[in-house]
Structure 1
């Protein structure tokens, strides 16, 4: 699960099984709901990668956002995340924990270069985000692939079976779900997402330093007013909120993985003092940094 949960919006480096050009993982409810109830949810935060992502849902509890548009999850439904699309998953917190299936989704991430090898005009095409199969075979393929998730060691010749299943699944999705990118995403929106990715990457590289909305706006040649409107209209939150959440998530990693003091973590994550981290931690996590460490750190 740690491969999916990332700092606010970040570039995800996808690691593959041996020489296979794809990765399979199952998202389990015990990972998303660590308290075994709905009091705390480890939502999958905004991230992006070059891989095509195919998500098969076993539950109808939640929304999958791709490039700012929410798609309600349904049982036996596919969500397709195009290469470089910004995406996240937010729980609806409506279905009781004991009513949720043990596995919420199976996720298949496929190498962009693998796709380009048999889709010549890949850059001109776009997979529609919600794919509802018209026959049972695609769902069965995802259930078969799910058996090879979570780092399972492959036996002799299973590589060939996996490659065959992925090819077959792509046949159905390409046949039914591909369209021209120009028909679905206006050129202006594509340019906006390109700019957002650059802002996101810049923030991820510099959040620990003394950056502000104004300084980032200046770095990209925008007025503070325009930058503020642009970011909020495309991301749904202010840049200050985005930056603060990124810093809090970085602090969460340090709290569970190191023995640093709260002050040291605050300074390393871009806060001016420990009080600033504590206040923002309470706001976004509903607890203090030390309480969080005590509960989740194996070092505590």
Structure 2
């Protein structure tokens, strides 16, 4: 999850705002729901990165998925996204805008190389992905870190303070929520995650072409029926839906960043015609592509 753009990516490169080995983000409702329109939210679809990601929720809105497991968001919940875990965020589009807190989550992404300096067997370990801590100190730390989000300039010596807070947070999380990967993730699950990462990468590279579930199954040496069962059981959605959502999100980027016609965007994003894009855009976004473009600020 980088700066919550709408682009689906297989591997995410996290850009750090400062020289510190971590990045702090606040996810605000005003950015997630343009014009207070719940239908226009930008879901963050399946992606992965090497960083450890720690998410603190202020809201009951949405579902966070890690390695195919759904974690309904609730106030005070911590989500831990392990290094290289496939994850996504889906809004529930139900909670009225006025009932949502101004900040939905604070997100901390920590460099894996930094963690290896303190946890030598880091690659053998697995952080429990969802919990509400008994100690209020963890929530206090995340809210404190949230004050330094999004590359806010730091005053003299604040680097040391932030490093101290991150070290303290990691102490609590490692102490109570760390297990051996072999215990929490059997070999079969790890292999499935590796295969899924390859499928996501392949889809991102080829979604603009004439690919479908059958052709991707063939590319990976699977029968269509096995591939269909494997993908749905591990990702929670069909491959067809995953591919369509990726194409719709790519269309959203093009609508926002170019002056291309709906037909041109449809062809660029793998749809056979403009009607196909309009129908799927309406299904997942609740509006037409042109309405979406019209509502883009600026």
Answer whether TM exceeds 0.5 for this pair.
yes
Equivalent in the alignment of 1:207: 207
Relative to structure 1, the CA distance from residue 100 to residue 281 in structure 2 (aligned partners, 3 Å threshold; closer, same or farther) is: closer
Relative to structure 1, the CA distance from residue 93 to residue 259 in structure 2 (aligned partners, 3 Å threshold; closer, same or farther) is: closer
Equivalent in the alignment of 1:116: 116
Equivalent in the alignment of 1:152: 152
Q: CA deviation at 1:100?
A: 1.9
* Cα distance between partner residues in 2 of 1:35 and 1:2: 22
Equivalent in the alignment of 2:241: 241
* Cα distance between partner residues in 1 of 2:268 and 2:74: 41
The answer to which of 175-184 and 56-65 deviates more is 56-65
Equivalent in the alignment of 1:73: 73
* Cα distance between partner residues in 1 of 2:115 and 2:46: 23
- SS of the residue corresponding to residue 233 of structure 1 reads helix
Q: CA deviation at 1:246?
A: 0.7
Relative to structure 1, the CA distance from residue 6 to residue 190 in structure 2 (aligned partners, 3 Å threshold; closer, same or farther) is: farther
Which segments of 5 or more consecutive residues in structure 2 lack a partner in the other structure? Answer: none
Q: CA deviation at 1:72?
A: 2.4
Question: Is the CA contact (8 Å cut-off) linking 2:40 and 2:286 kept in structure 1?
Answer: no
* Cα distance between partner residues in 2 of 1:77 and 1:228: 33
The answer as to 2:222 corresponding to 1:222 is yes
Q: Tell me the TM-score normalised to structure 1 length.
A: 0.93
1:28-67 correspondence to structure 2 within 5 Å: 28-36=28-36, 38-67=38-67
How far does the alpha carbon of each residue in 1:158-211 deviate from its partner, in whole angstroms, 9 at most, with x for none?
111111111111011101110111111111111111100000001101111222
Relative to structure 1, the CA distance from residue 39 to residue 224 in structure 2 (aligned partners, 3 Å threshold; closer, same or farther) is: closer
Question: Is the CA contact (8 Å cut-off) linking 1:145 and 1:162 kept in structure 2?
Answer: yes
Which segments of 5 or more consecutive residues in structure 1 lack a partner in the other structure? Answer: none
The answer to which of 162-171 and 277-286 deviates more is 277-286
Relative to structure 1, the CA distance from residue 219 to residue 297 in structure 2 (aligned partners, 3 Å threshold; closer, same or farther) is: farther
How far does the alpha carbon of each residue in 1:47-66 deviate from its partner, in whole angstroms, 9 at most, with x for none?
22111010111122332211
How many positions carry a matched residue from both structures? Answer: 298
Equivalent in the alignment of 2:128: 128
Question: Is the CA contact (8 Å cut-off) linking 2:208 and 2:269 kept in structure 1?
Answer: yes
Question: Is the CA contact (8 Å cut-off) linking 1:256 and 1:296 kept in structure 2?
Answer: yes
Equivalent in the alignment of 2:259: 259
Q: Tell me the TM-score normalised to structure 2 length.
A: 0.94
The answer as to 2:78 corresponding to 1:86 is no
Question: Is the CA contact (8 Å cut-off) linking 1:52 and 1:109 kept in structure 2?
Answer: yes
* Cα distance between partner residues in 2 of 1:134 and 1:232: 35
* Cα distance between partner residues in 2 of 1:7 and 1:19: 26
Equivalent in the alignment of 1:4: 4
The answer to which of 91-100 and 28-37 deviates more is 91-100
Question: Is the CA contact (8 Å cut-off) linking 1:255 and 1:297 kept in structure 2?
Answer: no
After superposition, the CA RMSD in angstroms is: 1.8
The answer to which of 140-149 and 217-226 deviates more is 217-226
- SS of the residue corresponding to residue 11 of structure 1 reads coil
Relative to structure 1, the CA distance from residue 277 to residue 40 in structure 2 (aligned partners, 3 Å threshold; closer, same or farther) is: closer
Could you list the runs of 4 or more consecutive aligned residues of structure 1 that deviate by over 6 angstroms after TM superposition?
none
Question: Is the CA contact (8 Å cut-off) linking 2:52 and 2:80 kept in structure 1?
Answer: yes
The answer as to 2:269 corresponding to 1:272 is no
Q: CA deviation at 1:261?
A: 1.3
* Cα distance between partner residues in 1 of 2:204 and 2:44: 17
Question: Is the CA contact (8 Å cut-off) linking 1:6 and 1:47 kept in structure 2?
Answer: no
